[in-house]
Amino acid sequence: GLPTNRDPYGPLLPDFFQVSRDSLAAMREAVTYHGSERIAAIIAEPVVGAGGVFPPPPGYLEGLRELCDESGALLVFDEVITAFGRLGSWFGSHHYGVTPDLMTFAKAITSGYQPLGGVVVGPRVRAWLEADEQYMLTHGSTYAGHPACCAAGVANLEILRSEGLFERAREVGPRLRDGLEGLLDRPGVVEVRGEGLMQAVAFEHPVAAAAVADALPAHGVIGRALPYANTLAFSPPLVVSDAEIEEMVAATAAALADVAAMV
């Protein structure tokens, strides 16, 4: 997890270890070092979210799948951010063509109108769960299956389908990317990266992202700074209009100018 989230509560559990987000070689080395027979699962986001909006390098997710197949470990995708249209597909795994063994989801399944999350399991895990007819998975939560939340999820999924919002995300995502790339000539802007309607502007100065995010509301836009990667993230609703995309980009340009004037 992110150091800012983890540090106040102590270290990770001893049987967990972290590997660089984009190095398949480092992952293979870690599996070899710890022993493939001791690796239960590899957990990854299809696109790193709060850590800085980093799409996977070419072949990375495919490499994780191959490594899990070789070692016997389960591949787990955290799709809390990337599922339900953010990348223009049902899931990030669909977008990249890589099938995990387990997949977590939340947030966008109800578009945030009700709290709902879940886990999807593939055939391998399902077979294990169903091998003993007397076995009952008792690890649940107090409000699991809450009918109001589930109804909101069903209604939201129907809207995603009927209104063509996945197609809309695929259409408007490149427009957002193109607009943000127009800011690359601004002082201190070093990179624009992302996938679909999940884009980010990275800055050179350590506090620039927070400063620009603070300046944005004066121009009618709310942004989110990701201090861990000195990045300003943009993940607008799938119903965002072309005019609103232009407004976001113009507001970011104005906020950059405001910050530059204060330096």
Last residue of one domain, picked from the residues 129, 162, 195: 162
* Residue linked to tokens 């861990």: 228
CB 96 within 8 A of CB 116: no
Q: Do 138 and 213 fall into the same domain?
A: no
pLDDT of 212 > 80? The answer is: yes
CATH code of 218's domain: 3.90.1150.10
CB 82 within 8 A of CB 235: no
Rounded average pLDDT over 196-215 = 95
Domain count, the chain: 2
Residue 22 burial (CB count, 10 A): 13
Q: Do 122 and 232 fall into the same domain?
A: no
Q: Residue 145: its pLDDT value, please?
A: 86
Q: Do 131 and 183 fall into the same domain?
A: no
Amino acid at 38: R
Q: Do 104 and 185 fall into the same domain?
A: no
pLDDT of 179 > 90? The answer is: yes
- Is pTM beyond 0.85? Reply is yes
The three-state DSSP-derived secondary structure of the chain is CCHHHHHHHCCCCCCCCCCCCCCHHHHHHHHHHHCHHHCCEEEECCCECCCCCECCCCCHHHHHHHHHHHHCCEEEEECCCCCCCCCCCCCHHHHHCCCCCEEEECHHHCCCCCCCCEEEECHHHHHHHHCCCCCCCCCCCCCCCCHHHHHHHHHHHHHHHHCCHHHHHHHHHHHHHHHHHCCCCCCCEEEEEEECCEEEEEECCCCHHHHHHHHHHHHCCCCEEEHHHCEEEECCCCCCCHHHHHHHHHHHHHHHHHHHHHC
Q: Do 63 and 102 fall into the same domain?
A: yes
Q: Do 88 and 11 fall into the same domain?
A: yes
Q: Do 255 and 172 fall into the same domain?
A: yes
Q: Do 34 and 141 fall into the same domain?
A: yes
Given the DSSP bridges, would you call strands 189-195 and 198-203 parallel, antiparallel or unpaired? antiparallel
Q: Do 8 and 138 fall into the same domain?
A: yes
Per-residue pLDDT tens digits for 100-154: 999 999 999 999 999 999 999 999 999 998 998 888 887 777 888 899 999 999 9
Q: In terms of Cα–Cα distance, which of 67, 119, 41, 56 is closest to 92?
A: 56
Domain that holds residue 77: 3-162
CB 95 within 8 A of CB 196: yes
Last residue of one domain, picked from the residues 141, 162, 183: 162
CATH code of 135's domain: 3.40.640.10
Q: Do 79 and 180 fall into the same domain?
A: no
Q: Do 17 and 143 fall into the same domain?
A: yes
Q: Do 207 and 84 fall into the same domain?
A: no
Per-residue pLDDT tens digits for 10-61: 777 778 888 988 899 999 999 999 999 999 999 999 999 999 999 999 999 9
